[in-house]
Every structure is written in structure tokens, then in C-alpha cells.
Chains A and B, each alone.
Chain A
Amino acid sequence: MNLRAVWAIYRVEMARAFRTVLQSIISPVISTSLYFVVFGSAIGSRITEIDGISYGAFIVPGLMMLSLLTQSISNASFAIYFPKFVGSIYELLSAPVSYLEIIIAYVGGAATKSMILGLIILGTAALFVPLRIEHPFWMIAFLVLTAVTFSLFGFIIGIWAKTFEQLQLVPLLIVTPLTFLGGSFYSIHMLPGIWKTVTLFNPVVYLISGFRWSFYGKADVSVGVSLGMTLVFLAVCIAIVAWIFRTGYRLRN
């Protein structure tokens, strides 16, 4: 294991986050605060409680997931796309590093950043609403699993993308709608019949539901199913990455 290489890549990735501290950390804090002002105050004054949880507190896990998903994807996709774009990827490809090490370093870097961000959002939220975390272990487990899974997903997008437009395409057209429609701001029990069923095809529902359960002990779908779906998505991402590396897809061709 070339741990020095893993550490070198990881450090560069983290350094980039600190170099762009405004974009990486402050802007999500501001947008989260805005969500609280708009959704928490404006809508929260009409919907007082969901499942016995105040609306402001109810949306916290969803907001964290929203940022976790989008940031994991954008961090990881940009991290691998940028060297591809400027050409500096030659060095990574010519270095004595295995695919596993490349993945650990890039996905680890992206996941670390998005988890830090998730925790910052949690801290920001705590200023607005009273929070409780009933299952801290599972809260961390969902946080880590989701960050890693979606960083892997972002990594795949970064390798696949040939243009900046493609890089933005999947997050913008697929991930953001799925997250908004995945129960970040409402319980899926509030939906009319057919839409409740349709929603169950949205993988993000399971992530948010499981994550919310770790906070308040209340879930839209059972926790086991949530965990299972997260692991399935992780396995799919790992399989795709393995295929990419075996074939050299868009890297070594």
C-alpha cells in the first residue's frame, strides 16, 4: 500500500477546501440559514409539527442530507475532473499507485469535506431549533455511508464527464430534484396515494428517512430497508468504479 501517495492526494484535496473556504464552508452555512428562514419560519408557522417533531427540527436531517449529497458529488467529481481537464492527471496515472489507493484518497477527501460540512450545518441548525439525536451511532453511520457512497458516485461522474456541462448535468438534473422530492422538507406520508408509491422509487427517500430516524426515532420507511438501500447503492457505485478501473475507461484510453 502506497500510503504516502494516499496521504499526498488527500492533503491536496483538503488544502483545496481551505483555499476556497468561502465557497466550501461559508456558502453552505449561509444557504442553510436561508432554508431555515424561508422553510422553517414561513412554512413552519403553518405546519407546526410532523410526527410530533417541530417542523424546524424535522427538516434538519433532510437539509444535512441535501448538502451531503450535493457536496459529496461536486467535491469528488470536480477533484478528478479538474486534473483530467488541465492534463495534470498524467502524474497520477504514471505514479506507482493502485486504483484502490486513488479511490481511498479522492473519495476519502471528498467525503471528509462533505461530512465536515454536514456537521457545520448541524451546528448552524442547533442555533435555530432544539435538536436531539436518539441514535448517535446510526447518525454517524448514515453520515459516513452516504458521504462515501455519493463521493464515489461523484467520482464516477467526474471520470465520465468530458465537459464542464456534463459535470453539472447529473447533480443538477437528477440529484437535486431527487433530494427535494425525497422528503427533505416533508414526510412522505403527507403525499396523496399514488405519489407515495412513486416516491418509494426515489433512493434518496431511504437515506433521508434513515437519517431522520437516527435523530428522532421516527421514519417513513423501516430503518433496515433504509440501511439496505444505502448499501445497495454503495455496492453499485463500487461495481461501476471497479469496471472503470479494469477497462481504463476515459482514463487510460
Chain B
Amino acid sequence: MSSIISISGVTKTYATGFKALKEINLDIERGEIFALLGPNGAGKTTLISIVCGIVNRSSGSVSVDGHDIGKDYRAARSLIGLVPQELTIDAFETVWATVNYSRGLFGKAPNPAFVEKVLRDLSLWDKKDSKAITLSGGMKRRLMIAKALSHEPRVLFLDEPTAGVDVELRQDMWAMVRRLREDGVTIILTTHYIEEAEAMADRVGVINRGEIILVEGKAELMRKLGRKQMKLELRAPLAAMPDGLSRYALELSPDGSQLTYTYDNQSDRPGVASLIRDLEAAGVQFRDLDTKNSSLEEIFVSLLRQEP
């Protein structure tokens, strides 16, 4: 796969002196779903805004499908569709007018059949003659997506697409993202809902305080940084940890009825078997055990904690 977006050495310092981005280097592969993960204020929206041409970068370069966003901004921008975080639409325009306006703005010839299809796919067709101001929040979100898709972009940016969105729309949106990917559209979504990245993304980038701290395939990331936990339900509560078990760094629940063992499942000797033997030797009996992989959320939180 070749990269469709190439960001190199991009920095952004706002007039206030705030350094929103420090030296970002990132390549987005053609046709992938890339999740940009980060806490609020990490620089996600600034980064997207720079790629889309909304905010000027302080230094560095960005190219979209080989077109520099500065020198060759027309070619670069015409490939990109953007669904911003805020619901910002001209409230007095009808759905039909505003979606066709977006198409025209991106220099595409009128194509009522295509616009109709976009509106139908987003369940907006019934509302085509309604003014934006009369739409519900969820419908406005759909309209923002319709505007971004109206000009047939090859790269779609979804900035916090499911913030404040109901379950139905969220599922519709995920289905739509998968459909677009099948058509070869590259999708970059920012989110702080980690479950979203976990469900959708091929690759995950983590950004914090204006720096990309990690970019990894999702499966790879879960495998590499994932940890496993084994929980043991004890037959009888323990008052204190038996001496023979100290090397396992077990956690004892406050009521003494549960032991938790956290281990690296990539290790050759995870120590599960020896722990069970040592438990028996110490006379600790359990009636049930449960193991689980850590979620992306836990990985994410631990990554941010490691940050200085």
C-alpha cells in the first residue's frame, strides 16, 4: 500500500504562543481506516484542519495523493471531504440546496442523481426540502456528512463523528464508513471514544500534547501492548497474602475473596501454571477463574500515563 496523505515535520504555534502541534510526522495508507486517538486538546482537530486547509501550518509539509497542500491546494483539497466536530450549517438553507452548494464549491458538475443517492443513503431524502434549522441534531449530523460526500471525496475526515450521537445513527455511520472503504475511500476519524477506534480502525495513532506518541496496526497494538488478567474467585477469603506468592504481584480484593494476576501474554513464561501450583502449595483454593485481554482503552490510558 502507498500512502495517500503524507505529513512531515508539521508544527503549529498559535498567535497566543500555544504550541498545538510539535513536529508531526504521519503517513496515512491508501484505503485504510485510521483512527487518531487522543484526549481533548491533544491537537487532533488542529492537525485535521491543517491537512484540510482551514488552518495554516507554522512549518512542515503535507501532501495528499502527491499534491502539496500549499502549492497544489486545488488538487489536494478536491480529494478531501471533511465532517467537522461542530454542527455548523447555514441554518436557513434547505438540505437540497446546501448539499448541492457543497458539490459546486468543490468544482463538481451538478449531478442530481448522485446527490439523491447520498441523501437516501443517509436517510435524509424525506427532508430534502426542509431548512437545516428545522432538523434534529442527529439529522444535522447526517447533513454534514452528506455535504462532505457530495463531491465524491477520496479521503474522508470524520472529526469526532459520534460525539453526542444516538445508537442508531452511530451504527448507520459505521456501516457507511465500511461501505466507503469498500469503494476505496480512505477514512481518518478522530475520537476519544476508544471503542469506536477498536470497532472500526485498521490502524491507530495516538496523539497527546501535540505529539504523535504511537502509530500501530490495531491488532498489532493490542497484541504488543495488550496484557492479560486472570481473576481467581477464592473458596475462602484471605486475610493476608501468603508468603510464597509474593513474586507474582497479586492484587487481593478488599474483602479478600478475589485475587487478580496481571501478566504479559506475549512472554514465553507468563507464569500462569506456576502460579496455580504455588497457590495449591500455599493452600489457597479457588472455585472459579476468569481471564481477559485488556481493551484498547486500557492500552490508551496506560500510554498516556507513561508520558512525562
Output the least CB separation between B278 and chain A (Å): 60
Q: Are A15 and B97 in contact (CB under 8 A)?
A: yes
Q: Are B90 and A83 in contact (CB under 8 A)?
A: yes
Among B15, B54, B107, the residue within 8 A (CB) of A4 is: B107
- 25 residue pairs of the A-B complex, CB under 8 angstroms, read A4-B104, A4-B107, A4-B109, A5-B105, A8-B100, A8-B103, A8-B105, A9-B105, A12-B97, A15-B93, A86-B89, A86-B90, A87-B88, A90-B84, A92-B105, A93-B52, A93-B54, A94-B52, A94-B53, A94-B54, A96-B77, A96-B78, A97-B105, A252-B53, A253-B14
Q: Is A164 an interface residue (CB 8 A)?
A: no
> What residue in chain A is nearest B84 (Cβ atoms)?
A90
Output the least CB separation between B14 and chain A (Å): 7
Q: Are B104 and A7 in contact (CB under 8 A)?
A: yes
Q: Is A88 an interface residue (CB 8 A)?
A: yes
Q: Which residues of A contact B19 (CB under 8 A)?
A: none
Q: Are B88 and A253 in contact (CB under 8 A)?
A: no
Q: Which residues of A contact B75 (CB under 8 A)?
A: 96
Q: Which residues of B contact A15 (CB under 8 A)?
A: 93, 97
Give residues of chain B (51-106) contacting chain A, Cβ–Cβ below 8 Å.
Answer: 52-56, 73-78, 80, 82, 84, 86, 88-93, 97, 100-106
Q: Are A88 and B74 in contact (CB under 8 A)?
A: no
Query: Chain A, 27-43, contact with B by CB distance < 8 Å: what is the 0/1 string?
Result: 00000000000000000
Q: Which residues of A contact B231 (CB under 8 A)?
A: none
Give residues of chain A (14-52) contacting chain B, Cβ–Cβ below 8 Å.
Answer: 15-16, 19
Query: 9 closest A-B pairs (Cβ-Cβ)?
Result: A8-B104, A87-B88, A96-B74, A94-B52, A96-B77, A96-B78, A95-B105, A2-B107, A93-B54
Q: Are B93 and A12 in contact (CB under 8 A)?
A: yes
Give the contact-size bracket for chain A.
Answer: 20 to 34
Provide the main secondary structure of the chain A interface.
helix
Q: Is A91 an interface residue (CB 8 A)?
A: yes
Among A5, A12, A90, the residue within 8 A (CB) of B82 is: A90
User: Which of the listed residues A5, A12, A88 has the most CB atoms from chain B within 10 Å of its own CB?
Assistant: A88
Q: Are B56 and A248 in contact (CB under 8 A)?
A: yes
Give residues of chain A (83-116) contacting chain B, Cβ–Cβ below 8 Å.
Answer: 83, 86-88, 90-98
Q: Is B108 an interface residue (CB 8 A)?
A: yes
Q: Are A253 and B55 in contact (CB under 8 A)?
A: yes
Q: Which residues of B contact A16 (CB under 8 A)?
A: 92
Output the least CB separation between B158 and chain A (Å): 14
Q: Are A5 and B56 in contact (CB under 8 A)?
A: no
Output the least CB separation between A84 and chain B (Å): 10
Q: Are A4 and B108 in contact (CB under 8 A)?
A: yes
Q: Which residues of A contact B88 (CB under 8 A)?
A: 86-88, 90
Cα-based distance from A80 to B113 in the complex (angstroms): 31
Q: Which residues of A contact B154 (CB under 8 A)?
A: none
Q: Which residues of B contact A9 (CB under 8 A)?
A: 101, 105
